[in-house]
Amino acid sequence: MMTQTGGCCRASNYVSFIRRALDKVNLSHIPVISLNINGMEKNPGFRLTAPMLLDAAKALTYGDLFMRCVYRVRPYELVPGSANRLHDRWEKIAIESLTDKQTQWTYREVCEGIVQAFDELPIDESLRKPRVGIVGEILVKYMPLANNHLVELLEREGAEAVVPDLMDFMNYSVYNSSYRHKYLGKGVASVVIAEGGVTAIRSLRKPALDALEKSKRFEAPMPIKQIAEMAKPLLSIGNQYGEGWFLTGEMAELISSGVPNIICIQPFACLPNHVVGKGVIKALKNRYPEANVVAVDYDPGASEVNQLNRIKLMLSAAHKALAAGGN
C-alpha cells in the first residue's frame, strides 16, 4: 500500500515505480494498493472502512506522541537507552490497544500513560542543548532511511531534535478545502469538509492534546488555523501542492515556539519545496532575525559529506547562539 495524491510531487509516481520494480523481479502478481481520496485508482477488492480509518488515525496520534516525548527527553536521559526502552514498552501497549479486543487499555489511557511515563523519566537538563526542528518533504522528513538517520545525527552532535506531528499534515490537507471554495470555485461542500474535518481531527486527538497540555515537559501542537495565520505574511495559502504553505507555517511555528534552528529537507529537485521551503527562507529570516535555517537535499546520488557539512555549519551557529543566551 502506498499513499498517492495526484499532485505535482514525485510521490504521485511512487505507486507506478513500485509496480515496475516488482515486475522486474517477476513479482508483478503482488497487488500495489494506491491509498488516495480523490478516486485516482479504485483498487478492486480493497475497501477502507470507518473502523480501519479510526484505528489508523489513533495509530498516527500515538506515533506523534512518541516523537514528541522520545526526542524531547532522549538527549538528556540519565541512563543511556532508558528513553528507547520506555518507548518499546509503551509501543507494545499502544499496539495492543488497537489490535487486541480483550485489551485493558483505552485510547485515552494510552495517550495519558505515554505522556506521564516520559514526564517521569529521570533526565538531566543542567546542560542545555540547541533545539533543531526538522521540516520538509513528508517522506524524507519522517523516514530515517531516507534522511540518513538525521535525528540520531543531531543527537550525536549535541542537539535536541524537534519534529512536528504527522497528524498536522492531515489537518492541512482538509483545511485547504475552505480556500478552494473561496478562490477556486469549489462548492460549498468544500467548506463543510474543511470545518468538519479539522473539528473531527481535533476531537480525535483530544486525549493526546489534553495530556500534552497538562505535561511539565511537553508542548501541544498549535491549531491548524493559527499555523495558517503565521504562514500568510510569508506566502499565499494558495500554495497547496505537496507540503504547500504548511511547510512555511511549520517553520514559523517552530521559531515562535523556541526552536529557531531548522533543517529543511527534501528530495533533490522537489518542485513544491523549492517554493515553500527554500523559497521562503529569506523572507522567514527577515521576519524572524533569530532564525537559523539550512536547506539540505537528500537523494541516493547526493553527497553525504556535503549534507553533513551543511548541518554541522548550522549546528555551529546554533551552539554559539545558545552560549550567547539564545535558544
Check whether 200 has a pLDDT greater than 80: yes
Check whether 257 has a pLDDT greater than 80: yes
Q: What is the pLDDT of residue 49?
A: 87
The band of 40, judged by pLDDT with boundaries at 50, 70 and 90, is confident
Q: What is the pLDDT of residue 210?
A: 97
Check whether 325 has a pLDDT greater than 90: no
The per-residue pLDDT of the chain, averaged, comes to 92
The band of 182, judged by pLDDT with boundaries at 50, 70 and 90, is confident
> Higher-confidence residue: 44 or 199?
199
Q: What is the pLDDT of residue 71?
A: 98
Q: What is the pLDDT of residue 193?
A: 82
pLDDT in tens, 64-118: 999 999 999 999 999 999 999 999 999 999 999 999 989 999 999 999 999 999 9
H/E/C letters for each residue in the chain? Answer: CEECCCCCCHHHHHHHHHHHHHHHCCCCCCCCCEECCCCCCCCCCCCCCHHHHHHHHHHHHHHHHHHHHHHHHHHHECCCCHHHHHHHHHHHHHHHHHHCCCCCCCHHHHHHHHHHHHHCCCECCCCCCCEEEEEECHHHHHCCCCCCCHHHHHHHCCCEEECCCCHHHHHHHHHHHHHHHHHCCCCCHHHHHHHHHHHHHHHHHHHHHHHHHHCCCCCCCCCHHHHHHHHCCCCCCCCCCCCHHHHHHHHHHHHHCCCCEEEEEEECCCHHHHHHCHHHHHHHHHHCCCCEEEEEEECCCCCHHHHHHHHHHHHHHHHHHHHCCCC
Q: What is the pLDDT of residue 129?
A: 96
Q: What is the pLDDT of residue 82?
A: 98
Q: What is the pLDDT of residue 14?
A: 83
Q: What is the pLDDT of residue 38?
A: 73
Check whether 132 has a pLDDT greater than 90: yes
> Higher-confidence residue: 195 or 38?
195
The band of 183, judged by pLDDT with boundaries at 50, 70 and 90, is confident
> Higher-confidence residue: 246 or 45?
246
Choice among 66-70, 83-87, 176-180, 209-213 with the minimum mean pLDDT: 176-180
Q: What is the pLDDT of residue 270?
A: 81
pLDDT in tens, 267-278: 877 888 888 999
Question: How much is the average pLDDT of 149-163?
Answer: 97
Domains defined along the chain, listed by start: 2-35 (no CATH), 50-119 (no CATH), 130-164+223-327 (3.40.50)
The band of 121, judged by pLDDT with boundaries at 50, 70 and 90, is very high
Q: What is the pLDDT of residue 5?
A: 74
